[in-house]
Amino acid sequence: MANHKDISEFILNTEKMLNDIGIQIVQKTLKTMDCLVKQDNLRKEKSTVQRKADKKNIATIFGEVNYKRTYYKNKKTGEYKYLSDQRLGIDIHDRLDSSLKAKLVDEAIESSHRKSGQITVDSIYLTNQTVMNTIRELGDIANNSVNITQKRK
């Protein structure tokens, strides 16, 4: 019986390590993209650096990812953007990664909003409101999109 506990503990520790590695890979990728955008000659022609190292957090299936990015001003339009975020499909108001949103919605089909927020990612507290807002983002779904079976009497 002691071996069962040991292997279970090993598996849980491995999952945590893999999630930590996932967070590190995502952080490194975000940092690399920010550097690539900053060094891009075409970007230099079109926009100027306004601020460096603005902090951002985004919840992912691995856990909370914290990173820094550069804020730019377009020389012609005067528009401000985080160009690295834009290239990676991260909206300025995003707090949750799309894959985490999908997992939340999928879990909410089987569980309560509160429970699906707890189950989806162990290391992040996601409220019922966060789950509900994520579901509402989907908008209306056509009735014929879901296959519903009738119960027998």
CA–CA dist 95, 86 (Å, integer): 14
Helix axes 128-137 and 113-120, enclosed angle (nearest 10): 90
Task: List, for residues 26-77, the tens digit of each pLDDT value.
Answer: 999 999 999 999 999 999 999 999 999 999 999 999 999 999 999 999 999 9
Confidence of residue 151 (pLDDT cuts 50, 70, 90): low
Quote the pLDDT of residue 23.
Answer: 97
CA–CA dist 108, 116 (Å, integer): 5
**pTM, to two decimals:** 0.79
Q: CA of 153: how far to CAs of 8, 109, 113, in Å?
A: 43, 24, 30
Task: List, for residues 80-135, the tens digit of each pLDDT value.
Answer: 999 999 999 999 999 999 889 888 888 888 888 788 887 788 788 888 888 888 88
| Residue 81 host element (H or E) | strand 80-81
